[in-house]
Amino acid sequence: MERAIDWMRQAERDLERAKLDVELGFYEWACFTSQQSAEKAVKAVFQKLNKSLRGHSLLKMLEELRSELDIPENLFGHAKLLDRYYIEARYPNSFPEGSPYEFFDLKLAQQAYDSAREIVEWCRDIIGKL
C-alpha cells in the first residue's frame, strides 16, 4: 500500500513544529524537527515511487533518487546541513561537554528550518507530478 500522502502530511506537520521551536527558542529541537520534516518528505517521494529504503541520511536518499528525478543542486547542500542534526541536536555526547541546547542558536535553527522548507516544498511538488 502506497502511503506517500501520509508521510507528506506528517512532514508538513513536523515543519510547522520546527517553526514553533524556532519562535519559542528551542533551537536544538528546531534543528532536529527540521531534519525529521525533510526526512519524512523525502520518504514520501520514495513511497510514491514504490521504492524501499532504510536509514536517515537525507543526502544518501537524494543521491539515490538522482537517477530518476531532476533534483535541484541546492537541495544536496540542505540535506548535508540537516543530516548533522539527526543525532547532534539530541544527545550530549555529540559534544565534548555540555548539553545540545547550549550549542544551538537562532541562526542555526532558522537555517535548518529554511533548508527543510525547501526540501518539503520540492517533495510536495514532485509528488503532485507523479
pLDDT tens digits along 22-38: 999 999 999 999 999 99
pLDDT surpassing 80 at residue 124: yes
Average pLDDT value for residue range 98-120: 98
- List the domain range (segments joined by +) for residue 115: 4-129
Domain of residue 97, CATH code? 1.20.120.330
pLDDT surpassing 80 at residue 87: yes
pLDDT surpassing 90 at residue 1: no
Which of 108, 51, 68, 117 lies closest to 85 in space, CA to CA?
108
- Could you tell me the three cell numbers for 85? 542534526
Question: How many domains would you assign to the chain?
Answer: 1
Q: What percent of the chain has pLDDT above 90?
A: 95
pLDDT surpassing 90 at residue 130: no
pTM of the complete model: 0.96
Q: Check residue 67 and give its pLDDT.
A: 94
Q: Check residue 14 and give its pLDDT.
A: 98
